């Protein structure tokens, strides 16, 4: 698949003067709950009312959604509020029911995107639809799998496509429910700059008090919209209670978010920017030059080790370097996370260099 301007048509046609907002409860619980939330969201920035009808749960025995019954409630939402509707589909039967009930936007969840079989089944069931279809990132940070799902849908002649960035599962506990790995979303945007990309801060954070911050980062990174789980009584929601916000909090979040433009035509701004970018170019070249020099030294160590038959990996020395560099980094305003990532990459490159020499 190639990037093309037309990928944005469905979004441009909405002619919004703010980011696209998809909001509503994690799960449709009762007809009253769905309609109460929908009416509270009616005159806000929300264009699409979302509600989970079928809920993929990690463990059995949890609330798994009300099923097809909830689709009737979504129809009432559309009739009574004028908002369009959105839900997750995870198989061909869901697609059939969602289309029969005229759901306007369907998304494929992270646990489905990981399975090309499921994605293909959904693509076949949706073939030729003019509904909007969004693909959440797979639970594992695999850009090819994410794009592969989009390609399957495009091949099934589905034109109104987009992606939802909901973060990635990790073994280690972090402050996020699903770590954002912004780099992946940035890479996706550089490959497909016209493919609409929506951020899902609810699933990234898992906590309502972090939603604003992640939403702002997303807008700073040119995301086109936000999907935010919203419930009038979040604490008592039947699923994902910790990450839902009330409709009034959502309105406040949208008010407080700063919307950035892609660029500014003013000459002074562009002169100053170009000046600073020239400095960055010089420094980037210096970094590469220094890294090259470091690898020449590593090659020397490799030759020495080869002569004495000593192993490449020297964990004690390596841990000393890491510890020192984290401290050094702090003094220069560099985060521990960045220093560890960068030096681990440098270490690996040094090992690769030495491996080439020692294996000769």
Ligand X SMILES: O=C(O)C(=O)C[C@]1(C(=O)O)C=C[C@@H](O)C=C1
- What minimum distance in Å lies between the beta carbon of 332 and ligand X? 19
Query: Taking CB under 6 A as the rule, does residue 159 contact ligand X?
Result: no
Taking CB under 6 A as the binding criterion, the range among 57-65, 113-121, 160-168, 316-324 that sits at the site for ligand X is 316-324
Q: Is 53 in the site for ligand X (CB under 6 A)?
A: no
Rule CB under 6 A: say whether 316 interacts with ligand X: no
Q: Which of 9, 30, 84, 49 is nearest to 227 (CA)?
A: 49
Please tell me whether residue 253 binds ligand X under the rule CB under 6 A: no
Gap between the Cα atoms of 110 and 142, Å rounded:
11
317, 332, 359, 360: which one binds ligand X (CB under 6 A):
317
What is the DSSP secondary-structure string of 49-89? Answer: EE-BSS---SSTTS----TTHHHHHHHHHHHHH--EEEEEE
Instruction: For residue 336, give every residue at least 6 positions away whose Cβ sits within 8 Å of its Cβ, in sequence order, or none.
Output: 326, 329, 330
E strand map for 188-297: 197-199, 225-229
Q: What is the C-alpha to C-alpha distance for residues 23 and 48, in angstroms, rounded to an integer?
A: 7
Name the minimum Å distance from CB 327 to ligand X: 16
Q: Which is nearer to ligand X, 247 or 302 (CB)?
A: 302
As a whole number of Å, the end-to-end CA separation of the chain is: 42
- Indicate whether 358 belongs to the interface with ligand X (CB under 6 A): no
Q: Rule CB under 6 A: say whether 232 interacts with ligand X.
A: no
Using CA of residue 284, residue 262, residue 192, residue 344, what is the dihedral sign? positive
206: left (phi over 0), alpha (psi -120 to 50) or beta: left
DSSP per position, 286-354: HHHHHHHHHHHHHHHHHHHHHHHT--S--HHHHHHHHHHHHHHHHHTT--HHHHHHHHHHHHHHHHHHH
Is the CB of residue 77 less than 8 Å from the CB of residue 47?
no
Q: Calculate the alpha carbon distances from 120 to 97, 125, 151, 152 in Å.
A: 17, 9, 10, 6
Q: Is residue 219 part of the contact set for ligand X (CB under 6 A)?
A: no
- Which residue, judged by CB position, is nearest to ligand X in the bound state? 350
Q: Which is nearer to ligand X, 199 or 350 (CB)?
A: 350
Q: For residue 71, which phi and psi values (nearest 5 degrees)?
A: -65, -30
Element containing residue 161 per DSSP (H, E):
strand 161-165
List 154, 322, 351, 358, residue binding ligand X (CB under 6 A) = 351
The site string for ligand X over 278-307 (x = CB under 6 A, - otherwise) reads: --------------------x--x------
Does 339 bind ligand X (CB under 6 A)? Our answer is no
x/- letters, 96..115, toward ligand X (CB under 6 A): --------------------
Nearer to ligand X, 258 or 317 (CB): 317
- Tracing tokens 């989009």 back to the chain, one arrives at 150
Per rule CB under 6 A, is residue 163 in the interface with ligand X?
no
Q: How many binding residues for ligand X (CB under 6 A)?
A: 12
Q: At closest approach, how far in Å is the CB of 319 from ligand X?
A: 9
211 or 298: CB nearest ligand X: 298
Stretch that binds ligand X, among 48-56, 91-99, 285-293, 314-322 (CB under 6 A): 314-322
Please, which residue, 68 or 357, has the CB nearer to ligand X?
A: 357
Closest CA to 322 of 301, 344, 307: 344
By CB under 6 A, is residue 33 in contact with ligand X?
Answer: no
Interface with ligand X (CB under 6 A), residue from 79, 280, 296, 313: 313
Judged by beta carbon, residue 106 or residue 312, the one nearer ligand X is 312
At its nearest, how many Å lie between ligand X and the CB of residue 310?
8
Contact 240, 267 (CB under 8 A): no
What minimum distance in Å lies between the beta carbon of 333 and ligand X? 23
Residues that bind ligand X (CB under 6 A): 298, 301, 312-314, 317-318, 321, 347, 350-351, 354
């Amino acid at each position: 698949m190639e990037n093309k301007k037309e990928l944005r048509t469905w979004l441009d046609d909405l002619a919004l003067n703010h980011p696209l907002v998809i909001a509503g409860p994690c799960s449709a619980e009762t007809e009253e709950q769905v309609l109460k939330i929908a009416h509270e969201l009616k005159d806000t920035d929300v264009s699409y009312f979302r509600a989970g009808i079928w809920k993929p749960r990690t463990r059995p025995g949890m609330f798994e959604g009300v099923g097809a019954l909830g689709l009737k409630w979504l129809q009432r939402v559309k009739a009574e509020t004028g908002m369009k509707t959105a839900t997750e589909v995870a198989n061909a039967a869901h697609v059939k029911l969602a289309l029969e009930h005229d759901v306007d936007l369907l998304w494929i969840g992270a646990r489905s995107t990981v399975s090309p079989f499921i994605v293909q089944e959904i693509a076949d069931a949706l073939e030729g639809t003019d509904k909007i279809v969004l693909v959440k990132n797979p639970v594992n940070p695999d850009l090819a799998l994410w794009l592969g799902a989009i390609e399957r849908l495009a091949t099934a002649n589905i034109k109104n496509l987009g992606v939802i960035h909901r973060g990635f599962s990790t073994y280690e506990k972090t402050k996020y429910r699903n770590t954002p790995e912004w780099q992946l979303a940035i890479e996706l945007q550089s490959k497909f700059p016209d493919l609409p990309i929506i951020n899902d801060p609810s699933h990234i954070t898992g906590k309502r008090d972090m939603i604003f911050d992640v939403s702002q980062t997303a807008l700073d990174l040119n995301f086109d919209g936000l999907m935010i789980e919203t419930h009038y009584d979040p604490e008592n929601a039947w699923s994902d209670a910790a990450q839902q916000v009330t409709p009034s909090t959502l309105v406040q979040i949208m008010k407080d978010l700063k919307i950035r433009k892609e660029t500014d035509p003013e000459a002074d701004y562009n002169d100053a920017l170009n000046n600073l970018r020239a400095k960055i170019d010089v420094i980037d070249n210096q970094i590469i030059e220094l890294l090259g020099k470091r690898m020449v030294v590593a090659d020397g160590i490799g030759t020495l080790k080869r002569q004495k038959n000593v192993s490449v990996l020297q964990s004690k020395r390596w841990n000393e370097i890491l510890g020192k560099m984290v401290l050094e980094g702090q003094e220069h305003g560099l985060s521990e996370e960045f220093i560890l990532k960068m030096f681990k990459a440098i270490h690996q490159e040094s090992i690769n260099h030495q491996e080439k020499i020692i294996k000769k």
